[in-house]
Structure 1
Amino acid sequence: MSEQHQARKRFGQNFLSDPNIIRKIIDAIRPVEGERIVEIGPGLGAMTEPLMERLGHLHVVEIDRDLIARLKTTHPPERLTIHEGDALKFDFGSLAADGTPLRVVGNLPYNISTPILFHLADFAERVKDMTFMLQKEVVMRMVAEPGTEEYGRLSVMLQYRFNMGRLFDVPPGAFRPAPKVMSSIVRMVPRPVTECTAADYALLGKIVTAAFGQRRKTLRNTLRGWLDEADFAALALDPGLRGEKLSVAEFVRIADYLAAAGRGGAPA
């Protein structure tokens, strides 16, 4: 039956098929019976079935109606709860409403990887951890350190909220159809709320977006309207630096400085 389903480009479908890689991923997740885990995009069930074996019950979010029908015929509802719809719009917090910490896993569609990561960050307080397979290039940006070419908006905003680590790579041949890129497994563990101290998270996002909007320009240019020379002096920041040189903590410091001065609106 799995061979009859044609991967759909509009859903970014590439189905994991290598049993050794599947086993390695499940071992990395380490599911334990009784835990509440939700899988995004179960596809043909490569990870779904081994997860269910260890858990007893699994939640999945799937948008493809054909795959939903297939899942319904192969797994009883007492073992598998299917949430039909778009993961970008799904309220993941609803699965942890009773206080049970949620674990999120999945082979995320590469065409929506960045927006879905930002969407999931909104539910970090109710999540124990997240383990995803993504395009290696995206994972390298997620875990990048300041001063590197990969470091950017995605790095700062996710590292503000999560401790992250790249686990291992997955070659194109592990999928059907094979993608044209290498994939990687990444783990995201929410940082304690006490460490996420930005006074205005939305303002932090605006500052980071502005700083990386034109990567080759210095902070003096990218943050013009937000900060003037006196502000840079007060922050003890070199306006000749580029955004990629600043740490997450330094971006938070800029945002907090502006928030404290009541300058959290649009730049002047």
Structure 2
Amino acid sequence: MTGHVGDNNALGDHAESSSVRLLGPAEIRDLAGLLNIVPTKKLGQNFVIDPNTVRRIVRVAGVQPGETVVEVGPGLGSLTLGLLEAGADVVAVEIDGRLAAQLPETAHLLAPDARLTVIHADALRVTELPDSPARLVANLPYNVSVPVLLHFMEHFPTLRAGVVMVQAEVGYRLAAGPGSKVYGAPSVKAEWYGTWRTSGQVSRQIFWPVPNVDSVLVGFDRREVALGTEEERLATFALVDAGFQQRRKMLRQSLQPVLGDTVAATAIIAAAGVDPQTRSEQLTVHDFLTIARVFTGVGIPRSELP
């Protein structure tokens, strides 16, 4: 939904007609009080209260004037206003009804000429968005950050790049390579869609309430050519899930839930040119894809992988 609503007691004194104003600690708390909102861990609500951090995120994300950006979990609008300030057309997906209803009002007062669409929905259930967003920029709720990222990468192929703020542990895992101690299923699944990198730490003190964990910015760029078909993606992800559920076991054992008994698993893995005695933490997404292709009967040689 979109909306422009009249004056608001919490923000009326801060409104300007000529430029975008970002939210500071006082405005954030005023808005929360107006809406009778107490941030909850269940929804992963930690609101950004520092305009400098907002502008940093927008800068790192490379947001361009006129491009459509999707934001997940806009909350009270701190980052939303930063994106609008940069000239982006923003599509914001918010699960909390009170926050979704307030955001257009906040934007109307502090960014009166901005283009904002607010969708009141669970981000994990959204499969259609207006205007084919090209970039994802968000302070993702900690408790669903990886599922939301993978969901949006799967369902919105127009997303070419983006930056998200996530719990540090999650961010390092997303950007990890094979052999790293934090390399896991999210690392491989993220690599299916593109390249990922950490883009700096974020202080706990820029949030209200202050979280108990550190945060990092993670940037991504989508592959120009998809690694495989949807059938191959599903088969690859099934192997990844099986492999990392028993990550300390050799592949010929850990992949049995998908490939069959030890004999069958060993033969399929070997046919893919992968050592059946290695472990999942040593494999790239290409390795998993090759095994998936042998398993599904495609059998494309590794030399022909994209």
Alignment TM-score, normalising by the size of structure 1: 0.88
Aligned to 2:197: 165
Q: CA RMSD in A?
A: 2.1
Unaligned runs of 5+ in 2: 1-9, 11-27, 300-306
Query: 1:182-221 counterparts in 2 under 5 A?
Result: 182-193=214-225, 195-197=226-228, 200-221=232-253
Aligned to 1:87: 123
Report percent identity of matched pairs: 36
Alignment TM-score, normalising by the size of structure 2: 0.78
How far off is 1:70 after superposition?
A: 2.0
Query: 1:79-228 counterparts in 2 under 5 A?
Result: 79-96=115-132, 102-193=134-225, 195-197=226-228, 200-224=232-256, 226=259, 227-228=264-265
CA distance in 2, matches of 1:238, 1:57: 49
How far off is 1:124 after superposition?
A: 4.7
CA distance in 2, matches of 1:56, 1:254: 42
CA distance in 1, matches of 2:270, 2:227: 25
Aligned to 1:242: 279
- Opposite residue 135 of structure 1, the aligned amino acid is Q
Q: Secondary structure at the match of 2:74?
A: coil
Choose from 248, 252, 256 the match for 2:293. Answer: 256
Q: Secondary structure at the match of 2:160?
A: strand
Choose from 37, 53, 60 the match for 1:21. Answer: 53
Q: Give a deviation string over 1:142-186, Cα, whole Å, max 9, x none.
A: 111111111111111110111111101112111010111110111
Q: Secondary structure at the match of 1:104?
A: strand
Q: Give a deviation string over 1:12-35, Cα, whole Å, max 9, x none.
A: 100111232222112112322211
Unaligned runs of 5+ in 1: 263-268
CA distance in 1, matches of 2:201, 2:246: 30
Task: Judge conservation of contact 1:124–1:161 (CA < 8 Å) in 2.
Answer: no
Q: Secondary structure at the match of 1:55?
A: coil
The number of residues matched between the two structures is 257
Task: Judge conservation of contact 1:107–1:133 (CA < 8 Å) in 2.
Answer: yes
CA 56–196 in structure 1, closer or farther in 2 if over 3 Å, else same: closer
Q: Secondary structure at the match of 1:21?
A: helix
CA distance in 2, matches of 1:90, 1:206: 23
